[in-house]
Chains A and B, each alone.
Chain A
Amino acid sequence: QSALTQPASVSGSRGQSITISCTGTSSDVGGYDYVSWYQHHPGKAPKLIICDVSNRPSGVSNRFSGSKSGNTASLTISGLQAEDEADYYCSSYTSIATRVFGGGTRLTVL
């Protein structure tokens, strides 16, 4: 299985919004509403921030939102804050009951 495709890096100024894309195929992202997003500060455990395309787990800021169109899922972070600077990974369930991650996106807050 191939990794999902994410941009290597994105940046935005404090207070602005950014969107990270995650492109797969009809066998993963496009075929199931089981796309999740994780925030990873290096040296710490990754944190689930979006599940099932657009659902926020309890305690996650409403500045994080997710969506999907066809084979591409997206994570939007609004009102960027310094603490949002981290690596972000998407993940999807696949047609062979495996799971696959994207390559990760490094977010820089300017």
Chain B
Amino acid sequence: QLQLQESGPGLVKPSETLSLTCTVSGGSVSSTTYYWGWIRQPPGKGLEWIGSIYYSGTTYYNPSLKSRVTISVDTSKNQFSLKLRSVTAADAAVYFCVRELTTILTKSFDIWGQGTTVTVSS
């Protein structure tokens, strides 16, 4: 059974870069059927899609975050990562890494990590 585990600092200072990594176990990030992505949930708010990446490196980003976000994949480590630059208090959230099943017939986030809480504070 494939599992996803987020890791990274739980506290980031304003204006700095938030960096998170998702480790994939029980499966491969190199699978051609899946994208790998990040979704966040600010306190008291709903889910927000941040972006997704294919094993080849093709990325898609939320237009509202695109200027500050980079998602990358490391097939040798079976991991993918999120970098969000110039963070503010509005970026405080629970960050989930997800697997997105993507074919011509289907698109959905079928497996989720447990989530990691990121606080933005000096």
A residues contacting B by CB (< 8 A) are 1, 3, 34, 36, 38, 40, 44-48, 51-52, 55, 57, 87, 89, 91, 93, 96-104
A103 vs B47: C-alpha distance in the bound complex, in angstroms?
7
From B50, which residue of chain A is reached at the shortest CB distance?
A99
Given contacts A36-B107, A38-B109, A98-B62, whether A45 and B47 have CB atoms under 8 Å apart is: no
B residues contacting A by CB (< 8 A) are 37, 39, 46-49, 52, 60-64, 96, 100-101, 105-110, 112-115
Establish whether residues A45 and B60, one from each chain, have CB atoms under 8 Å apart when the complex forms. Answer: no
Establish whether residues B110 and A48, one from each chain, have CB atoms under 8 Å apart when the complex forms. Answer: yes
Across the interface, B46 reaches (CB within 8 A) one of A55, A57, A101, namely: A101
Cβ contacts under 8 Å, A91 to chain B: 47, 49, 108-109
Establish whether residues B110 and A57, one from each chain, have CB atoms under 8 Å apart when the complex forms. Answer: yes
| Chain A to chain B contacts (Cβ below 8 Å), 17 pairs | A3-B46, A34-B106, A34-B108, A46-B109, A46-B112, A51-B106, A51-B108, A52-B107, A55-B106, A91-B49, A91-B108, A98-B49, A99-B37, A99-B60, A101-B46, A101-B48, A104-B47
Cβ contacts under 8 Å, A57 to chain B: 110
A57 vs B96: C-alpha distance in the bound complex, in angstroms?
20
Establish whether residues A1 and B64, one from each chain, have CB atoms under 8 Å apart when the complex forms. Answer: yes
A60 vs B106: C-alpha distance in the bound complex, in angstroms?
17
A19 vs B96: C-alpha distance in the bound complex, in angstroms?
27
Minimum CB–CB distance from A63 to chain B (whole Å) comes to 19
Minimum CB–CB distance from B40 to chain A (whole Å) comes to 10
